[in-house]
Amino acid sequence: MELLEGKKIAEKMLEDIKDKIKSENLNPGLAVILVGNNDASKIYIDIKDEAAAKVGIDFQKIEMSEDVSEGEVLEKISELNKEKEINGIIVQLPLPKHLDKLKIIKAIDPQKDADRFHPENLELFLKGDDDMQPPFPRAIMELINYSGENLESKEGIIICNSDKFGKVMQFILEKHGTSSEYILKEDIQSNSENIKNADILISACGVPGLIRGDTVKQGVIIVDGGITRADGKIIGDINPDSVKDIDGYISPVPGGVGPVTVACLMENVYLLTKNQ
């Protein structure tokens, strides 16, 4: 297996974004709302903060307590929507269970929605009317392209936890000439033959060891987006030892999808600043 080196892709993207921000004399601002004390979320926010500093984006972290009311979160988003210095807003997921995730995401001004999760933006994207993409699926596509393989006429399989992500990823693949279908995690066993025949396999479930070498074919391009923390380590959905002797490509965990997703987020903030 050849590695799809996410760090290299991310470094190049961040350098390009830095140059554009400087040459266009922009002053982008990104606000990130963190609710609660999720350790993984804190790490992800620190990584975003570091990337923002590299490219010249002013980074504002707003921390709110685990028991914050929904009204307080919505009020803070309303304030950020009005701040001219803030060009992009994200709410770090997951949120505590008492908060309505969709309601909170919908409160973000679509013109400042850096994650592109707002229903209006998703709808525009799936119609082909929005050039900005949600960072996570965009990062997966960047890794697939890094393989250098011709993607036309290939068959793609997406294994995921939600219809929303499956549809977005399917749309992006098909824009690149790859016919694809998505399979929800609970339907893997009944679709094992399709998974075995996939030229491109994307897994984003957060279930360690979900995919093994005996369930994929030679020449496959695997992107592992199922990041989980266990025993102090970050691991993916794919058992790396089981696929190491298979001919093909695989994104490592860590160092694969993660850094590219952050770079794609920074690019969205740059584009939002330009548009505003």
135-258 and 25-109 share a CATH fold: yes
In tens, the pLDDT along 107-147 reads: 999 999 999 999 999 999 999 888 899 999 999 999 999 99
| Confidence at residue 250, expressed as pLDDT on a 0 to 100 scale | 97
Question: What are 221-250's pLDDT values in tens digits?
Answer: 999 999 887 787 889 999 989 999 999 999
Chain CA centroid to CA 244, Å: 25
Domain 25-109 has CATH 3.40.50.2000: no
pLDDT (average), residues 32-60: 94
Write the secondary structure of 213-267 as one string of H (helix), E (strand) and C (coil). HHHCCCCEEEEECCCEEECCEEECCECHHHHCCCCEEECCCCCCHHHHHHHHHHH
Task: Please state which CATH number belongs to domain 135-258.
Answer: 3.40.50.720
> Domain limits of the chain?
25-109, 135-258
pLDDT at 39: 82
Coil, strand or helix at 40:
helix
In terms of DSSP bridges, do strands 233-235 and 228-230 run parallel, antiparallel, or are they unpaired?
antiparallel
* Residue 179 DSSP label: E
Average pLDDT over residues 138-162: 96
- If one counts every other C-beta atom within 10 angstroms of the C-beta of residue 80, the result is 21
Inter-residue long-range contacts of 123-127, CB under 8 Å, 24+ positions, other chains counted:
125/168, 125/171, 126/167, 126/168, 126/171
**CA 168 from centroid of its chain's CA atoms:** 11
Give residue 128's identity as a one-letter amino acid code: G
The tens digit of pLDDT for each residue in 72-112 reads 999 999 999 999 999 999 999 999 999 999 999 999 999 99
The size of the chain, in residues, is: 276
